[in-house]
Amino acid sequence: MSAILFDMDGTIIDSEPLWLQAEIEVMAELGCHWDEQDQINCLGGPMERTEKYMQDRSGNVKPYGYFGQRLNEVMKLKFVKDLELMPNALELITKSKEAGLKTALVTASGRELMNSALTRFPENSFDIAISRDDVTNSKPHPEPYLMAAKRLQVKIEECLVLEDSMTGVRAGLDSGAQVVAISHIISIANEKNLR
């Protein structure tokens, strides 16, 4: 093994509760209901999928792009004020670096939120960081993980991906990396499409 490729939301930062709060707030501004099942339906996917889902749930009352922009605004404030690391995330990253492994942060979040999250980690925790703004195709496409391996100058087969969503697990597997699925909000243990 040459590198560990870390997903961000729900894997190394405890942002999923913040996303749920933000989604509830944004939908409530329009008089719409949003609950944990709605969040699960959008979990781990690109913002475009969440945008479409919110458009459908709200009756398309806002122009396309509104929900992504509004969620970003709300999440920026929550990241500054309320963001916490997942238990043992920093220790795992530190031990990986001490063991001589390269590390990458690979997220379906935009660069602005990713950079905000990175301020919670010691400098140089990650050799590189890939956001959805860095790729043509975000997760579940394998491009983000393939790009990370290329930038780290390692073979994808020598990378371990840590993920918490089916979208991310699929991206990791399709890239050719080894994948560890961390189940907490949704169950991925019995997913039949995994090898």
Reduce the DSSP state of residue 3 to 3 states and report it. Answer: strand
Percent of the chain whose predicted confidence (pLDDT) is above 90: 83
pLDDT in tens, 120-157: 999 999 999 999 999 999 999 999 999 999 999 999 99
Query: Per-domain residue ranges for the chain?
Result: 3-14+84-181, 16-82
| CATH superfamily placement of domain 3-14+84-181 | HAD superfamily/HAD-like (3.40.50.1000)
**64 pLDDT higher than 60:** yes
As given in the structure block, the two tokens for residue 98 are: 């001490």
Given a cut of 70, whether residue 187 has pLDDT beyond it is no
* Cis upstream peptide for 140 (omega within 30°): yes
Contact between residue 44 and residue 171 where contact means Cβ atoms under 8 Å apart: no
Q: Average pLDDT in the 54-70 region? A: 93
Name the percent of the chain lying above pLDDT 70.
93
Six-digit token string for 133? 């703004």
- Nearest CA-CA partner of 89 in 165, 12, 6: 12
pLDDT bucket at 194, cuts 50 / 70 / 90: low
Query: Per-residue pLDDT for 16 more than 60?
Result: yes
> Which of 171, 186, 132 lies closest to 5, judged by CA?
171
User: If you average pLDDT over every residue of the chain, what do you get?
Assistant: 92
Does position 108 have pLDDT exceeding 90, yes or no? Answer: yes
Average of per-residue pLDDT across 63-87: 94
